[in-house]
């Protein structure tokens, strides 16, 4: 039986078209997304099909884009915006980090912000230092934000549909070097927060996302020729990431390599390694973390004091490990 295939770029475009068709509240806007069809042609033809009220170009202002998306989402629409290059997400930080991700919390859970920020990221295309970064770690520690990072066309399509239907702000990252990749097509959605074991193995667990998954698969084939049977996990979603799937694999292989395209210091790979060290590899009682919860900082003095890792919390944490 022949399986239908599509390329990554078309998967994005089809997902947007199907969601625009399904829900009149979905709108798409950004720099050159309408007339030009996007700098990477991921939105080509959408403006002609759905008209200027649903798909439209904007001025060159990432902050204005993000602010407009936040306002539209709060007003009941489901905006999908495109920040042309992920490096420019710094210009949209306030609307995303200080507004969209906290609005549900500060509204006492009365108002959601269903907005999606799409952005092309990653190196290898010879775009230089200011157009090739992978900004996921900049947002990884922000409570209230989901981060989706697909590696295959079917995942891109199914996860983008889920992101658009989600009531939370979602950062949807698309690696520039994957737009031309082909793979199986699919219908329906893929749940956010569920990893995929794309290659089973017994000797080593390799965890990655986006282009790193393809590099890891190629490396696993080479390692196999040398007698190392590597299991490759595609996280697909970075926030929330699928802890259980990674732990289950590491408990089987007892070895872990995390492949991240990005600086070593402060990267998301450190969180994966820290979690596994705390929860899987020997249950290390001699090293652990005490942090604030993954939530916005509360206003109430009593709640804020309880939120912080103060002296009492530190003592309690140490004593709990002594018993």
Question: What residues are labeled active site?
Answer: 131
- Start-to-end Cα distance in the chain: 59
- Say how many C-beta atoms besides its own lie within 10 A of residue 41's C-beta: 14
Q: Which residues pair with 206 in a beta bridge?
A: 232, 257
Residue 233 three-state SS:
strand
**Length of the chain in terms of residues written:** 323
Yes or no: say if 241 and 270 are a contact pair by the CB < 8 Å rule. Answer: no
| H-assigned helices in the chain | 8-22, 46-50, 62-74, 93, 103-106, 136-140, 153-165, 211-224, 243-253, 268-279, 301-307, 311-322
Q: Which residues pair with 7 in a beta bridge?
A: 182
Q: How far is CA 235 from the centre of its chain?
A: 9
Residue 235, classified by CB atoms within 10 Å of its CB into exposed (0-12), middle (13-18) or buried (19+), is buried
To which residue do tokens 């997400």 refer?
Answer: 89
Give the contacts of 287 (CB within 8 A, at least 6 positions apart). Answer: 277, 278
Q: Any idea what DSSP says for residue 301?
A: H
* Spatial distance between the Cα atoms of 190 and 195, rounded to a whole number of angstroms: 10
H-helix or E-strand spanning residue 133: none
């Amino acid at each position: 039986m022949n399986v239908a295939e599509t390329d990554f770029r078309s998967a994005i475009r089809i997902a947007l078209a199907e969601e625009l068709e399904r829900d009149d509240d979905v709108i798409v806007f950004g720099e050159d997304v309408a007339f030009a069809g996007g700098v990477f042609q991921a939105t080509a033809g959408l403006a002609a099909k759905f008209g200027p009220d649903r798909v439209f170009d904007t001025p060159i202002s990432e902050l204005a884009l993000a602010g407009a998306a936040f306002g539209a989402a709060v007003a009941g629409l489901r905006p999908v915006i495109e920040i042309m290059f992920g490096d420019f997400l710094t210009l949209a930080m306030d609307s995303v980090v200080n507004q969209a991700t906290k609005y549900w919390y500060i509204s006492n859970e009365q108002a959601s912000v269903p907005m999606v920020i799409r952005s092309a990221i990653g190196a290898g295309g010879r775009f230089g230092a200011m157009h090739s970064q992978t900004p996921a770690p900049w947002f990884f520690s922000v409570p209230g934000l989901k981060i989706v990072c697909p590696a295959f066309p079917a995942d891109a399509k199914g996860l983008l549909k889920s992101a658009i239907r989600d009531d939370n702000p979602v950062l949807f990252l698309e690696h520039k070097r994957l737009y031309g990749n082909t793979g199986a097509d699919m219908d329906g959605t893929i749940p956010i927060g569920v990893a995929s074991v794309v290659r089973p193995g017994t000797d080593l667990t390799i965890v990655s996302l986006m282009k790193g998954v393809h590099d890891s698969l190629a490396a696993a084939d080479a390692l196999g020729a040398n007698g190392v049977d590597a299991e490759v996990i595609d996280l697909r979603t970075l926030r929330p990431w699928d802890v259980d799937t990674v732990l289950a694999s590491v408990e089987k292989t007892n070895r872990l390599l995390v492949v991240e395209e990005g600086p070593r210091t402060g990267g998301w790979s450190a969180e994966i390694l820290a979690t596994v060290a705390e929860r899987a590899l020997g249950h290390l009682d001699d090293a652990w973390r005490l942090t604030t919860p993954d939530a916005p900082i509360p206003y109430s003095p009593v709640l804020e004091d309880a939120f912080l890792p103060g002296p009492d919390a530190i003592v309690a944490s140490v004593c709990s490990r002594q018993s």
